[in-house]
């Protein structure tokens, strides 16, 4: 028996058309008219959009940071994801000092196994590069299905790597079909600014953003693109936050450099006015920090003209009470990160598609198709086509709701989007043909997500 979604409008990165979808087992089998078999179950989705399940390629679930661990683990994080219409996440498995990549990856598999409500893959964030680690890149790609790594140009003395390591990583990545993702902020500039503010007694969250100026991002983006070019490699820039950094990417793309760039809902919608001297503003402490509002129009245009390739969330949640308060006396002790994996599609639809800043095709492209393509999951994920996984979101454009921490599935005691009115919501969600969300509620209490080994990047 198959399932027919009848009467919806199918939207992909390139198409927009009315047709029925027939799913059987885990796959999309047919698209068109008159495709139902007598025994099929018919679901009326008249008036809704049918979208490929969202692909969020930047999450941090169950991540130890300092003396604490992110509020969301794989269970609560992926419940939030699937309610919001995201059916695949690619999480940053993280290698800590002294660990091999294999040890780090096995630790992440242990955290995730049996808990996922979405399908999932891993990148590998590397904090301790050396010759032995470099040799493991081949294993990571060929045997473990992890075809992207991440390096940090910031977080001095913890995660930050130097240019020598960046060059070596790009070279190895190219050799083994592994894409290098980079957190672009100049960590040395930031280290000095943080120390200056602290020594002056300027310790409130307000100084978090002052200690991480846009120039630190612009410089790092410029430098990393140059290093990637010298190594004849591609580069993926995570969480780009400012117009100046966007201009650097735009120029590099115009020159033919193979650069991918991601931004996040927080940089499109929130701004630096959230930082003040109150404890409340620890809720917004992220890196890079929120920027002046005028950057947002440039970022929206960057999505629309496809300079920006991906919108991911960088979901990295810490409770306001009991975790963010570690920085009450010193902004540099506030764990960095915010939640958002549940809200990505409705935020982008409400503030991007509805006012006409991005088209429906761009909406699908940046939330599903491009992330799947860039990270080796396409065409299994990221589109609606015969043979693709039946990860389908039935998107109800008329459903309005207000984002509230008390009703969210993410397991964190606040949301940076509290009170925002949303237009558009995932009414039903199918994960490989199985209905997991029904009328906006999780309808299957069991996690059915599977690990997705990914293909190498060319
Ligand atoms: O503040 C952030 N973005 N925290 C998560 C870790 C990272 O830098 O991506
Ligand atoms: Zn980062
Ligand atoms: Zn991140």
Does the CB atom of residue 72 touch ligand 1 within 6 A? Answer: no
Return d(Cα 279, Cα 187) in angstroms, integer. 25
As a whole number, mean pLDDT of residues 177-192 equals: 98
Strand 86-95 versus strand 310-311 pairing type: unpaired
Closest ligand 1 atom to 336 CA? 1
Cβ-contact 185, 213 below 8 angstroms: no
- Mean pLDDT (the chain, rounded): 97
Q: Which two tokens stand for residue 112?
A: 């995730």
245 alpha carbon to ligand 2 midpoint, in Å? Answer: 15
Q: Write the burial class of residue 32 (CB in 10 Å: 0-12 exposed, 13-18 middle, 19+ buried).
A: exposed
Give the DSSP per-residue string, 226-237.
HHHHHTT--EEE
Strand 9-11 versus strand 54-59 pairing type: unpaired
pLDDT digits (tens, 9 = 90+) for 243-288: 999 999 999 999 999 999 999 999 999 999 999 999 999 999 999 9
91 alpha carbon to ligand 2 midpoint, in Å? Answer: 12
* Proportion of the chain above pLDDT 70, given as a percent: 100
Position 184 pLDDT exceeds 80: yes
Does the CB atom of residue 151 touch ligand 1 within 6 A? Answer: no
Domains of the chain, earliest start first: 53-374 (3.20.20.140)
Q: Residue 35 CB: number of other CB atoms within 10 A? A: 16
Does the CB atom of residue 211 touch ligand 1 within 6 A? Answer: no
Cis peptide before 287 (omega within 30 of 0): no
Closest ligand 1 atom to 287 CA? 1
Q: Could you tell me which residues come within 8 angstroms of residue 98 by beta carbon, excluding any fewer than 6 positions away?
A: 128
For the question of whether the overall pTM of this predicted structure is more than 0.85, the answer is: yes
Does the CB atom of residue 342 touch ligand 1 within 6 A? Answer: no
As a whole number, mean pLDDT of residues 87-98 equals: 97
Does the CB atom of residue 150 touch ligand 1 within 6 A? Answer: no
pLDDT digits (tens, 9 = 90+) for 364-374: 999 999 999 99
184 alpha carbon to ligand 1 midpoint, in Å? Answer: 11
Using pLDDT thresholds of 50, 70 and 90, give the confidence band for residue 387.
Answer: very high
Nearest ligand, measured from the Cα of 336: 1
Position 457 pLDDT exceeds 80: no
Return d(Cα 149, Cα 173) in angstroms, integer. 8
Look up tokens 């960095």; give the residue.
336
Using pLDDT thresholds of 50, 70 and 90, give the confidence band for residue 458.
Answer: low
Does the CB atom of residue 60 touch ligand 1 within 6 A? Answer: yes
Return d(Cα 170, Cα 161) in angstroms, integer. 13
Q: 189: part of which helix (H) or strand (E)?
A: helix 187-199
Per-residue pLDDT, 165: 98
Nearest ligand, measured from the Cα of 314: 3
Closest residue by Cα to atom 8, ligand 1, is 287
Return d(Cα 1, Cα 385) in angstroms, integer. 19
Return d(Cα 290, Cα 29) in angstroms, integer. 44
Per-residue pLDDT, 148: 98
Q: How far is CA 220 from the centre of its chain?
A: 20
As a whole number, mean pLDDT of residues 167-188 equals: 98
Per-residue pLDDT, 328: 85
Nearest ligand, measured from the Cα of 59: 3
Position 14 pLDDT exceeds 90: yes
Per-residue 3-state assignment (H helix, E strand, C coil) for 64-108? EECCEECCCCHHHHHHHHHHCCEEEEEEEEEECCCCCHHHHHHHH
Does the CB atom of residue 324 touch ligand 1 within 6 A? Answer: no
Position 455 pLDDT exceeds 90: no
Return d(Cα 440, Cα 418) in angstroms, integer. 19
Detail the DSSP E strand segments found in 319-455. 392-402, 421-431, 434-438, 441-442
> Residue 213 carries which DSSP code?
-
Nearest ligand, measured from the Cα of 312: 3
């Amino acid at each position: 028996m198959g399932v027919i979604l009848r009467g919806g409008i199918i939207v992909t990165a390139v198409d927009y058309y009315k047709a029925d979808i027939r799913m059987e087992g885990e796959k999309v089998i047919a698209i068109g008219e008159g495709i139902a078999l007598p025994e099929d179950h018919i679901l009326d989705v008249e008036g809704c959009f049918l979208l490929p399940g969202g692909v969020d390629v930047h999450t941090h679930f169950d991540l130890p940071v300092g003396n604490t661990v992110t509020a969301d683990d794989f269970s609560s994080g992926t419940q939030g994801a699937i309610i919001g219409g995201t059916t695949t996440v690619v999480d940053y498995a993280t290698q800590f000092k002294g660990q091999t990549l294999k040890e780090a990856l096995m630790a992440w598999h242990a955290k995730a196994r049996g808990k996922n409500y979405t399908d999932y893959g891993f990148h590998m964030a590397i904090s301790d590069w050396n010759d032995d680690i470099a040799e493991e890149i081949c294993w990571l790609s060929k045997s473990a299905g992890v075809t992207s790594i991440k390096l940090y140009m910031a977080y001095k003395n913890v995660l930050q790597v130097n240019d020598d390591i960046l060059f070596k990583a790009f070279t190895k990545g190219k050799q083994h079909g592994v894409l290098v993702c980079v957190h672009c902020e100049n960590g040395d500039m930031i280290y000095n600014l943080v120390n200056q503010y602290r020594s002056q007694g300027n310790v409130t969250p307000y100084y978090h953003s002052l200690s991480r100026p846009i120039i630190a991002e612009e410089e790092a983006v410029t430098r990393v693109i140059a290093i990637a070019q010298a190594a004849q490699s591609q580069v993926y820039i995570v969480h780009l936050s400012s117009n100046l950094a966007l201009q650097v990417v735009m120029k590099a793309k115009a020159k033919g450099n193979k650069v991918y760039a991601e931004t996040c809902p927080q940089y499109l919608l929130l701004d630096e006015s959230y930082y003040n001297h109150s404890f409340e503003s620890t809720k917004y402490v992220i890196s890079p920090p929120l920027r002046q509002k005028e950057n947002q129009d440039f970022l929206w245009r960057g999505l629309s003209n496809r300079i920006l390739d991906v919108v991911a969330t960088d979901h990295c949640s810490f409770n306001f009470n009991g975790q963010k308060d570690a920085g009450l006396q010193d902004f540099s002790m506030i764990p960095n990160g915010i939640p958002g994996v549940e809200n990505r599609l409705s935020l982008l639809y409400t503030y991007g598609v509805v006012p006409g800043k991005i088209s429906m095709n761009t909406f699908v492209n940046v939330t599903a198709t491009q992330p799947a393509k860039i990270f080796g999951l396409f065409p299994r994920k990221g589109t609606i086509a015969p043979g693709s996984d039946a990860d389908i979101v039935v998107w109800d454009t008329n459903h309005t709701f207000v984002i509230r921490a008390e009703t969210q599935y993410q397991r964190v005691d606040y949301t940076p989007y509290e009170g925002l009115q949303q237009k558009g919501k995932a009414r039903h969600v199918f994960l490989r043909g199985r209905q997991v969300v029904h009328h906006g509620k999780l309808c299957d209490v069991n996690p059915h997500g599977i690990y997705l080994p990914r293909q190498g990047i060319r």
